[in-house]
Amino acid sequence: MAPFVKWQATTFFVVDYLVSDSCLIDFTLPVPNVVRLGLLLIAGIGMGMSGNVFEKLMYRSFNVGNISAMHALAISTFAFCSVTSYLAAWIKVDTLVLWRGAGILTIIFGLVIMAFLIKSKR
């Protein structure tokens, strides 16, 4: 589905962060399982498209010498998040609390990007 999205990357990421992570937060609420499945489907599609759009943005925005550094940064960020998840499980943080916290942080990040976009258009 990502090739059909014609938005600017920054606009796409704002919408993705707000919609996908709202779905993940809503998933942790006491809702019927059918609704949870739908929320996970929407979040998964958005996150999958986000990875595709990020890859396109990375290859389009950086010269060949910087792509390896950008790829290393993305992989390092993923590794950091993985280790954080493992540590959270080790110290017995409730999974729902972890999901909600990650979702809220990502929504805040999306709102910050949106604020910068609005400010830069003025």
Tell me the mean pLDDT per 10 residues along the chain, length 122: 72 82 82 87 83 72 68 79 75 75 82 84 76
Integer Cα distance of 65 and 83 in angstroms:
28
* pLDDT recorded at residue 73: 74
3-class secondary-structure state, position 29 = coil
Write the CB contacts of 23 (distance below 8 Å, at least 6 apart in sequence). 39, 40, 42, 43, 46
Q: Is 88 exposed, middle or buried (0-12, 13-18, 19+ CB in 10 A)?
A: middle
| Residue appearing with tokens 């998933």 | 27
pLDDT for residue 121: 79
The pTM of this model reads: 0.60
